[in-house]
Structure 1
Amino acid sequence: MAGDGRWVMDIIWHTLLLGGDAVGNLWSSWSMEILLGVSFAAQLVLTVTAGFRWRSASAALRRVIWLFYVGADFVATTALGHLSVSGTAGKRRLVAFWAPFFLLHLGGPDSITAYELEDNQLSARYVLELVLRVAGAVYIVYKSTSGSWALISASWLMLFVGVAKYAEKTMALRRANLASVRSSVERQRRRQRHRTEGGGRRSTKLAFSGDDDGALVMKAHALFHICKNSMVDSSVETASNTYDAAAAADTKETLFQLEWPQLFRVMEMELSLMYDFLYTKAAVIYTWHGYAIRAVSPVFTAVSMVLVELSNVAGHHRRSDVVITRLLLVATFLLETASLLRAVGSSWTGFLLHRGLRHGWIRHEALCASRWLRFHHAMASVGRIANSQAHRKWCGKMGQLSVLQLITGGGGGGDRERRQDDRSWDKECARYSEKNTMVIPPEVKEVVFRRVRQQLLDLRARMNREAADMDLRKMAANLRTKRGQLALQGRNLLGELRWSLGDELQLGILTWHVATEIYLLLSGRTAAAAVARLVRTIRTLSDYMMYLLAVRPDMLPGLVTRKLFELTCDDLARVWSKHHAAAAAAAAAPRNFFRLRRVSPRISDMRSWEEEELAKMLIDQWRRGRDDDTGGGGGGVALNKYLSRGVELAMKLLDLEREGKADMVQVILEVWVDMVFYASYRCSKEAHAKQLSQGGELTTVLWLVAEHVGLFLVGKTGRGVEEDNWRRRKDAKRGR
């Protein structure tokens, strides 16, 4: 037996040795072909998939995009290093011709330059890498392509294309750096002031009428400077460098008069433009040199194809190298041609034509005769076939997290197999929210936008009445810094419920979420058909804000209270475990709690009943804790301070409903809308920019609405009001 075993091990060992030798020989003979194929495949995958990030790609697809984004640079750099060291000669001189293509691949597709916002901040490092890699490619072409004038010419033509595309990516990264954007905005403002003082030529007045997608996307382009300036915390003047003050006022008036679906559409289009600017080559594509590069790239590639064939008339190159080079040139020609067509048919180009062309024959042929529009529609039709033309459409998804459903196992959070250890609340919340992500219901959009718009209209009315007596900035701050106080004040409930809003937004979210869950489960009024729509909206907004608190805390202003959320979940788990199953007395830790959930009944009909049961348990524990100085409730589970406050608020809301003091459903709805608006406006601009790479959030859309409509209000009378206030303060000081 021992001899037989030794014989088997010898076979395995020799097989491994032979396999290793075979792999080594394969790599030695075909290493450049393998690297070239992998590099080109990475470009193709990124070209097709990168745009899905804006449309909220799944976690698996994002990982694929990240893998190819990082791997593409590694493969191309490795190939250039291999070529510079090994060199090529004789029949393999054509391999050196591949070096410019690796530079072209390092430039990447137009659809992605940065995977995360932080990639733009490394642009200085990318400049150094550009210089070193270009120097390596030039060295390879110079040393290895001698002997054939046709091959030399083709190599230098493709080297020009590769260097141009690689430099373009580096320039796009640099321009998308938020610090560079801020500097650019300041330079544009100074130039605009100088042009205005010097009486320079005024730009063509822009007016985009209609509410179809074509007109709305032009409105988005016309107002994009507001989004860009706001993203870097730079003030926006009434007259932009892109068009004159009269055109700006017309566009803002039109925007303010749009119904909420069209307004929402314009905002999501602007965010898609911001995504293009930060994460793709849009910052450099739609310039004269960007168009020039795309115009010459297909031409140079086609000429290089002819020159390569001429260099092989006498059969100087290896046949396999010739076949691979032909395929590479044809594929590159097709990709470069597609890049040119996408650039020309883009809405960016359409807006540049509207803005930059004077009235004349060219403008008439391009715009009045609708030639560009027909071409744009043709490109859009091709894009729809390839499922790539939805780029201007936001995914419109929002995460959801209900703590009571999370604890009782509702919402699909406990359907999959779970490990018995190493389970944490953040992983559980991420799984729950990913499974319960939903498309924002139209009624939620409508309610939120109508209330925000009404608040801004009220502010505008106050400005018209009181501009002479009030500081404009204080009036705007009064709207932007309230996270529910205005809703309670409007119902004369601020004195009774101010405590529930907490010192930080996160604390208010936690308190109101628990209270909302209990109220909606136990209130008799929420079952009425008349308020069903409002109840769905309340639940959606409440779960969305809880999702931001648990999964996206960087999208909320103020202190991050992660530990408080985990303690609250621990308390809820203990309450549910203690009363739900007698055999689960040891389920105080999350690890044991999740094991209990695996054996709990998964009957969907019981979920609502289970949540209601947990709500009643919480009320019972709260009453025991209130009546017992020790807080233990006679052997019950002690509730932490903020969970207890949530239950207390729920009881207060139920009492107010019974007393008939106010329409509590409407009060709760308005509080949540105010909290969403507060979170959107007080969130850091960098967090909004980062989240665009993962599809964006509803709060980002609302923030953009506030920036636009707020600027419209301020822009109409703001400068005059501020000057009058400044003069009055100055005169008052002199009078003293």
Structure 2
Amino acid sequence: MQEIRAEIFSKSVRNLWNNWDIRVFLLCSLLVQILLIFFASLRKRMAYKLLILFTWSLYLLADWVAAFALGLLANSQGDESDCPGGNAKPDVKIMASSAGSKHNIVKSTDNNILAFWAPFLLLHLGGPDTITAFAMEDNELWLRHLLGVTFEVGAAGYVFLLSLPKNRLLVPTLLMFVAGIIKYAERTYSLYLASMDGFRESMLEKPDPGPNYAKLMEEYQSKKESGVPAQIEISPEPEAHEVELQREELDEVSMVRKAHHFFNTFKGLIVELMFNFRDRAESRNAFLQWSPFGAFRVVEYELEFIYEVLFTKAALVHNSFGYVLRAICSGSIMAAFLFFFFTNKHGFLSVDIIISYTLLGGAIALDFVAFIMVMLSDWSVIKVTIPFLGNIISEIITKVPPRDRWSVSITQYNLINFCIPDHEKYLGRIADRPTFAGKFCEAFYIQKFLDKLKCKMMSGLLEELQYTYHVPVSKELKNFIFDELKKKTEIMKEPKAARSLCSCRGSWALEQKGYFSQFGNNVEVEFDESLLRWHIATTLCYYTVNDISKNSLIDKDSKVEESNESVPTLAAVHRQLSMFISDYMMYLLIMQPSMMSSSAVIGKIRFRDTCAEAKNFFLRRPFKRWNPNLATALCGSSQNVEKEREKERWRACADLLSVNTEAKPIDVKGDRSKSVLFDACILAKKLKDEVPIGQRWTLIGEVWVEMLSYAAGRCSGIAHAQRLSKGGELLTFVWFLMAHLGLGEQYRIEAGHARAKLIVGK
């Protein structure tokens, strides 16, 4: 085995590695920290899979590299402990190969410098302020992390002890130990605070036993036995009255402060706490006065606070104790730099001195960047309360880019588009993919390779990359959603009525429009089946009418007949918004089943069966395909490519609607297959035949908003919180807006304590 190893790795290579491994890993650890502090904060604003994957890799690599380097340091100290005082002879150079080799490999033989490097690794293990946990599950491992602190600090202490008693870098080493231990402890405590137990405990109030019932009844019984006339008079606690609502426009600073105020109460949504009638009244009265932009913006800031509490060190850093710790840590690093600068470094290798200055400079730079981020964070707007000057500082902070606290986009996934057969030509298949990542996977047959390996998890990820894309959340979409929720809360003022309304998933909208008798059966089925039916029906209706704001997409040579219907201008907006929500809900059902937990399994089965039937149908009815060139295939955003895609969707939808559906699909096929393809076709035909074009898209849009709010209320708080670190989801915004407007299921305390008095007669 030794001979084989020698053949693979020569002695010079092994000597090179043995003498440079510690230095390389130290610098790699610093590099990972630099990348992590900048890229970690991007993941909350960008919903890109590759960015999330890169951040996840850095997060795992940071701990591994630092811990491994610390082990190398401990092992290196042990090899040289035979020297007096634990210090080996300095300035020793070891030849990497034979006497004729041209490579001289320097090897630090002074334990002082190794001991000085050890606390830097503790500093790196503490991580940057911008990320403590990559996912919610990491917070639950805080106890394991606490155990890791013990071992890592012990290993660093072991390296330090072996450098005694003649350690010339004793003071700067101790100062760096203080900074490293503080940073490592900060991360561990932040993980605990963000764990579900710690998060819940931080919000629970003192136990409320209520009025002293036993004492009151004892006094009442005593008066009664003594013959004194007495009675108990009950006066209920005054209810929270609604205030006169007036439109209120908020500036950015006011939005941040309002968001922080509601954050202190409604962060309990994550751990499914109950709220009382006073919380509901205060929040509802405030949000009803704001514009859709103001309401969404306040929720955006609110979710930003929740993200920072769950995934960063914000809960610890942004308080008096945190400021003291940060001052001690920063002061220790600066003092260590000064002590090292003025220490006699005679005998240390030049390369080790350079690395030491690099580590010190990196620590100071990272600490300075963290300080700037703290100063420019939304928390500073809350902390700065100095009159006049505080408002000026707060306005400056809120204007520092980037202004968006989430991706402001929704992911689109369309079943019909997915089921249209792949282009028979190589360039056509590449052009069909809407994103660059999808084109890359198709160009190199990565999806087919993984399918042959039966790697389901990676295959599913690549499918998402190939068939999904993002569209911005427009002002019109925000207005439409908020207006629909606002309309419901104005009608259903009582909590019980609001809770019953939250269980509707399209029926209320149909009843309000007078179409429940015609379409009610399509919303009373299981939610995933209803979602699939309305998704396909929405797609079929979308691609078989003309939008007067666009030119016709159907070419004259096509066999597909152009519809005579034209969408009025107002309904055209609802038409586009309905399609956005429809494709977004399909993405959640298929690609994010954890957010649709009640329908995850059976929904996947129905989707697969429906896709299988659709693909079989399209294979039997081939239609003319376009032939792109190389430039067109690679340029996925070109208008020509999109126009050709639209033509294919028109043809596919027209073919589906041309099928005779007089007989019910279940009567013909039975119920073994869970496909809902032609049930959706029947729904689409009824919508086109029985609902005028001007009302059709308003009706479909309101049904989709109701489904969106239903799914938001049924998704667990933890699932909502998970997505905050991956660009955020519109579904989470809808959930918080519902809660703020009093439409949530969590308002269980509908009255306060009754005020009982013992009235004694004369």
Same fold, judged at TM 0.5 (above): yes
CA distance in 1, matches of 2:121, 2:355: 14
Amino acid paired to 1:325: S
Q: Are 1:106 and 2:125 counterparts?
A: yes
Map of 1:333 onto structure 2: 364
Map of 1:480 onto structure 2: 502
- From 409, 418, 421, give the equivalent of 1:406: 418
CA contact (8 A) 1:217 1:347 kept: yes
Q: Structure 1 residue 237: deviation in Å?
A: 4.6
Q: Scaled by the length of structure 1, what TM-score is found?
A: 0.79
- From 702, 709, 715, give the equivalent of 2:734: 702
Amino acid paired to 1:613: R
Q: Structure 1 residue 163: deviation in Å?
A: 0.5
CA distance in 1, matches of 2:287, 2:522: 36
If each structure's strand is expressed as a fraction of its own residues, which one has the higher value?
2
Q: Structure 1 residue 451: deviation in Å?
A: 0.6
Q: Structure 1 residue 506: deviation in Å?
A: 1.2
- From 583, 591, 608, give the equivalent of 2:646: 608
CA contact (8 A) 1:501 1:511 kept: no
Q: Structure 1 residue 544: deviation in Å?
A: 1.1
CA distance in 2, matches of 1:212, 1:239: 26
Q: Structure 1 residue 440: deviation in Å?
A: 1.2
Map of 1:536 onto structure 2: 576
Q: Structure 1 residue 352: deviation in Å?
A: 3.4
Q: Are 1:159 and 2:190 counterparts?
A: no
If each structure's helix is expressed as a fraction of its own residues, which one has the higher value?
1
Deviations 1:284-322 (A, max 9, x none): 111222111211222211211222234326x14222222
What secondary structure is seen at the aligned counterpart in 1 of 2:268? helix
What secondary structure is seen at the aligned counterpart in 2 of 1:443? helix
What secondary structure is seen at the aligned counterpart in 1 of 2:505? coil
Q: Structure 1 residue 677: deviation in Å?
A: 1.0
CA distance in 2, matches of 1:373, 1:563: 55
Map of 2:17 onto structure 1: 27
Q: Structure 1 residue 274: deviation in Å?
A: 0.9
Deviates more, 1:137-146 or 1:121-130: 137-146
Amino acid paired to 1:403: L
CA contact (8 A) 1:399 1:433 kept: no
Q: Are 1:643 and 2:655 counterparts?
A: no
Deviations 1:464-506 (A, max 9, x none): xxxxxxxx43x12211110001001112222332211243221
- From 510, 513, 532, give the equivalent of 1:491: 513
Map of 2:533 onto structure 1: 511
- From 265, 271, 274, give the equivalent of 1:226: 265
CA distance in 2, matches of 1:577, 1:154: 73
CA distance in 2, matches of 1:49, 1:95: 30
Q: Structure 1 residue 276: deviation in Å?
A: 0.5
CA contact (8 A) 1:57 1:694 kept: yes
CA distance in 2, matches of 1:706, 1:324: 55
Identity fraction in percent: 26
CA distance in 1, matches of 2:661, 2:286: 55
CA distance in 2, matches of 1:629, 1:500: 17
What secondary structure is seen at the aligned counterpart in 2 of 1:398? strand
**What are the within-5 Å matches in structure 2 for residues 173-212 of structure 1?**
173-187=191-205, 211-212=250-251
CA distance in 2, matches of 1:189, 1:221: 25
Stretches of structure 2 lacking an aligned partner (at least 5 in a row): 81-86, 91-109, 212-247, 423-431, 546-563, 626-639, 757-762
Q: Scaled by the length of structure 2, what TM-score is found?
A: 0.76
CA contact (8 A) 1:401 1:543 kept: yes
Q: Structure 1 residue 192: deviation in Å?
A: 14
CA contact (8 A) 1:176 1:277 kept: yes
Distance 1:325 1:519, change over 3 A: same
Map of 1:5 onto structure 2: none
Amino acid paired to 1:398: I
Distance 1:533 1:75, change over 3 A: same
What secondary structure is seen at the aligned counterpart in 2 of 1:438? strand
Map of 2:473 onto structure 1: 440
CA distance in 2, matches of 1:154, 1:380: 39
- From 287, 292, 307, give the equivalent of 1:260: 292
Distance 1:117 1:554, change over 3 A: same
Q: Are 1:115 and 2:134 counterparts?
A: yes
Q: Structure 1 residue 530: deviation in Å?
A: 4.1
- From 317, 321, 344, give the equivalent of 2:348: 317
Map of 1:417 onto structure 2: 443
CA distance in 1, matches of 2:571, 2:281: 39
CA distance in 2, matches of 1:252, 1:260: 14
CA contact (8 A) 2:709 2:734 kept: yes
Amino acid paired to 2:701: L
Deviations 1:367-391 (A, max 9, x none): 1141x5555566677x64xxxx44x
CA distance in 2, matches of 1:226, 1:396: 24
Amino acid paired to 1:138: G
CA contact (8 A) 1:146 1:152 kept: no
CA contact (8 A) 1:482 1:674 kept: yes
**What are the within-5 Å matches in structure 2 for residues 57-96 of structure 1?**
57-87=47-77, 89-90=87-88, 91=90, 92=110, 93-96=112-115
CA distance in 1, matches of 2:63, 2:597: 36
- From 406, 419, 431, give the equivalent of 1:394: 406
Map of 2:486 onto structure 1: 453
CA contact (8 A) 1:401 1:429 kept: no
**What are the within-5 Å matches in structure 2 for residues 364-375 of structure 1?**
367-370=386-389, 372-375=390-393
Distance 1:577 1:280, change over 3 A: same
Distance 1:334 1:626, change over 3 A: closer
CA contact (8 A) 2:129 2:313 kept: yes
Q: Structure 1 residue 133: deviation in Å?
A: 0.9
Q: Are 1:681 and 2:713 counterparts?
A: yes
Q: Structure 1 residue 545: deviation in Å?
A: 1.0
Distance 1:53 1:629, change over 3 A: closer
**What are the within-5 Å matches in structure 2 for residues 33-72 of structure 1?**
33-72=23-62
Greater relative contact order, per chain length (Cα 8 Å cut-off, separation 6+): 2
Distance 1:264 1:439, change over 3 A: same
Amino acid paired to 1:156: L
Q: Structure 1 residue 426: deviation in Å?
A: 4.2
